[in-house]
Amino acid sequence: MWFFILAELTVFGLLLLTFAGAQVMQPELFQKGRAELDSRWGMLLTASLLTSGLFAALAVHGVRRAQVRLGTFSLLAALLTAGGYVGLKLHEYAHLAGKGLDIEHDTFFTLYWSLTGFHFLHVLLGMLILAAMALRCWRGRYGPGSCAELEAGTLYWHMVDLVWVLLFPLVYVLS
C-alpha cells in the first residue's frame, strides 16, 4: 500500500506542479478563472473529506479496541460524509459546465478539470474501499489482531484527504 500511495502522490505532485507552473506563466488568466470558483464550496468540500477521514480513523481506533460495532458505524459515517463531497463536487461541476467553463475553456479550466477530476476518481475508489471495509467490519472480519487491511484502506483514504488539502488552496485560494 505504501508503494501505491507513494506512486499516487508522485502523480498528484506532478499535476500540482504543472498547475502552479502554468499559474506563474499566466497569472491573469488564473486569477480570472479562480474568480469563477466559489471558495466557500471548496471549504465545504474540505470539511466533508476531513470529517470522513476522522470517521475512518475512528473506525480503526474502535476495531483496535475490539469495538467492531463502533468501527462499522464509523466506516458508514465516513462513507456518508464522503458522499457529501461527491454531491457537492457534482453540483460544482454542473454549475461550471452550465456557465460554459468546461475542460476546453482555457488553460486554467483544463487544469482545474484534470486535477479535480483525477482526485474525484480517487474519491470514488476510496468510497468503494470504505464500503467494502464497512461490510467486512460488520461481518466481523476485523479485530484487534487482524486490522491490517482496515488500516491500509484507511491509509489510502487519508492520502485522498492529503491531496485535497494541497489541491484546495492551490486551485481555489492562492494567486
Task: Give the pLDDT confidence score for residue 37 in this predicted structure.
Answer: 93
- Tell me, yes or no, whether 155 lies in a domain: yes
**pLDDT at site 1:** 81
| The total number of structural domains that make up the chain | 1
Mean pLDDT in order along the chain per 10 residues (175 residues): 90 94 95 91 94 96 92 97 97 95 93 96 97 94 91 95 94 85
In a domain, 16, yes or no: yes
Single pTM value for the model: 0.92
Q: Decide if 94 is inside a domain.
A: yes
- Please check whether residue 91 lies inside any domain of the structure: yes
Q: Is the dihedral of CA 171, 163, 62, 84 positive or negative?
A: positive
| 40 located within any domain | no
User: What was the pLDDT predicted at 174?
Assistant: 80
Instruction: Tell me what pLDDT residue 98 has.
Output: 96
Residue 85 counted as domain residue: yes
Helix (H, G, I), strand (E, B) or coil at 41: helix
pLDDT in tens, 150-174: 999 999 999 999 999 999 999 998 8
* Measured distance CA(152)–CA(24) in Å, rounded: 37
**Residue 133 is part of a domain; what is its CATH number?**
1.20.120.80
- Domain limits for position 59: 2-35+48-173
If one counts every other C-beta atom within 10 angstroms of the C-beta of residue 54, the result is 15
Give the pLDDT confidence score for residue 39 in this predicted structure: 86
In a domain, 43, yes or no: no
42 assigned to some structural domain = no
